[in-house]
Amino acid sequence: MDESLLRSLTPSVIGVLVRRGADFPAAEDAVQEALVEAVLRKDDGEDGEEPVRDPRGWLTTVAWRKFLDAARADTARRRRQDLVHEEPAPGPVPSVDDTLQLYFLCAHPSLTPSSAVALTLRAVGGLTTRQIARAYLVPEATMAQRISRAKRTVSGVGFDRPGDVSTVLRVLYLVFNEGYSGDVDLSAEAIRLTRQLAAAIDHPEVAGLLALMLLHHARRAARTAPDGALVPLAEQDRARWDTALISEGVMVLQAALARDRLGEYQAQAAIAALHADAPSAGETDWVQIVEWYDELVRLTDSPVARLNRAVAVGEADGPRAGLKALAELDGSLPRYTAVAAYLQERDGDRVTAARLYAEAARSATDLAERDYLTRRAARLNALG
């Protein structure tokens, strides 16, 4: 059976088990065990077994049996025997899509953002604990504990709880921003999940987030040099941008903006679209970008949005205007020093810019960013 197909079936099968009486943690565990059995069946060459004509039905039947086995072996769950007394006969499974409800369940307000992301990837994305651990560069045991705690938190929460779209979108945005690491492309996974959500719910901010992801992802190939060095937006080879993704992102964004219910993800996507629309860095419409940042600040009052706005002001009205806008912000903000260095360099103060680049490099947590800032400082120091 196709592994990607099985992964896409995970949310609906978990939903079937929950509707039959399993709680969320037990249902999720049972489906993961069924997925393992499916992989083993494939790896064993199926040994002449009948081909599976209904993958969803097969996965549901196996997962339900796994749940029954676990429930019967656990004496602490004897009180649930009335829920699992009889095993439904194999056959077609009613088509009920619980994917959307699982999004809301995984974005439970009691969970930390990192736990919500991990649980979303496991339950909705269908990734294994090992894959998620590799993506986050943590031991598998650590990630298993994090997911187990998250599942205990949402245990007993029904599908009828009020859904919080903003929380779900925040989780997906966090998944996307993790980018690529290990053997899991989290950016692509976030786009896949957001597409599912956009197909299930008619909400302009869901469309706005999808558009934002597509527009950012379109520039991915140009963001790094062959040696892994970071390439800033102004220096990227725009011929390497994915024009198909850009076109789709702009189309999705335009449809969302036409609803006249502006939100933060639509505003961010509009900024990304203006960058994508510029044939070159010098032709970027910075004035309009500043206007969109004004909207974003109005919507969120985010310090990060204000920081990025200072950069845009520096491009639209000159570096001194950008430095003035930057001076109004907290100097402890992440990337504050790097932005100050860039604006000082634009203003012609190489000495100050070099010092600030070096300072920013020392506090950078990302290796590629640290190397980039170090090189900028070294280049300015060499110029004298």
Mean pLDDT, residues 159-164: 58
Tracing tokens 């903003």 back to the chain, one arrives at 166
**Between 45 and 229, where is the model more confident?**
229
342 falls within a domain: no
Q: Are 103 and 124 in contact (CB under 8 A)?
A: yes
Q: Which helix (H) or strand (E) segment is 273 a member of?
A: helix 264-277
What mean pLDDT value characterizes the chain?
84
Q: Render pLDDT for 114-156 as a digit per residue (tens, 0 to 9).
A: 888 888 888 877 778 888 887 777 899 999 999 988 888 887 6
Per DSSP (E only), the strands in the chain are: 180-181, 184-185
24 falls within a domain: yes
**Between 131 and 183, where is the model more confident?**
131
Taking the CA atoms of the chain, what radius of gyration do you get in angstroms?
24
Same domain flag for 193 and 103: yes
Same domain flag for 91 and 103: no
Q: How many residues does the chain have?
A: 384
Domain coverage including residue 50: 1-96
Q: Are 104 and 127 in contact (CB under 8 A)?
A: no
Domain limit, last residue, from 72, 96, 120: 96
330 falls within a domain: no
Same domain flag for 112 and 196: yes
Q: Residue 105: which of 147, 58, 167 has the closest Cα?
A: 167
Q: What is the DSSP string of 89-110?
A: PSSPPP----HHHHHHHHT-TT
Q: Render pLDDT for 36-93 as a digit per residue (tens, 0 to 9).
A: 787 776 555 445 556 667 888 888 888 888 888 877 766 444 544 444 444 555 555 4
The most confident of the ranges 51-65, 98-112, 323-337 is: 323-337
pLDDT at 33: 84
Two tokens, residue 222:
């140009």
Q: How many domains does the chain have?
A: 2
Q: Are 189 and 125 in contact (CB under 8 A)?
A: yes
pLDDT at 57: 85
pLDDT range class, residue 286, cuts 50, 70, 90: very high
pLDDT range class, residue 99, cuts 50, 70, 90: low
DSSP 161: S
- How many CB atoms are located within 10 Å of the residue 357 CB? 26
C-alpha distances out from residue 173 to 106, 116, 183, 249, Å: 14, 12, 20, 16
Two tokens, residue 163:
């859904």
